[in-house]
Amino acid sequence: MSHWVLSAALCTSGGASWAQAAQPGSAGPSVATVAEPLPPRFVLCQREVAAQAGDRQSLMRTCLARRLEGERVVQRDCKRQVSGAKGVHARQAAQLACERQALSVASSELPRGPAPAPRPMLTAEPRRPAATGMMPVGTAPLPASGEN
């Protein structure tokens, strides 16, 4: 019961502050407050999209895709930054703090991953064995599962 009461208190106290942060004239673009644990990406996108006008479904899709890519980049970068910390607990705390700070911003502010490498163009068709209907020498068909 105390978990629900605590969660409700965080939601009501944090609800007003993130709504203020989402306003255009606010000082920071943060979508999460310091008092609450970092919410899932869906909740962060709901908060972000609530202040925007337009097709909600497409805005949510775009936000979720950006956040997914941003989370991957942030996790990799934060892991690199905290790798020198001594001790498991210190490293975990530093990792969480780094991710929280980086992911609290709007999805348009999140870092993007590198562009995918271009696919190589095939110039010639690969060689295939002639289709004679006969199996190559030395290969026997394998029995199906359960047959002997």
Question: What pLDDT is attached to residue 107?
Answer: 85
pLDDT, residue 20, reads 39
Q: What value does the mean pLDDT of the chain take?
A: 74
Q: Distance of CA 102 to CAs 2, 36, 61, 84, 95, Å? A: 30, 15, 20, 19, 11
The pTM for the full model equals 0.55
Which tens digits make up the pLDDT trace of 51-96? 888 899 999 999 999 999 999 999 999 999 998 888 999 999 999 8
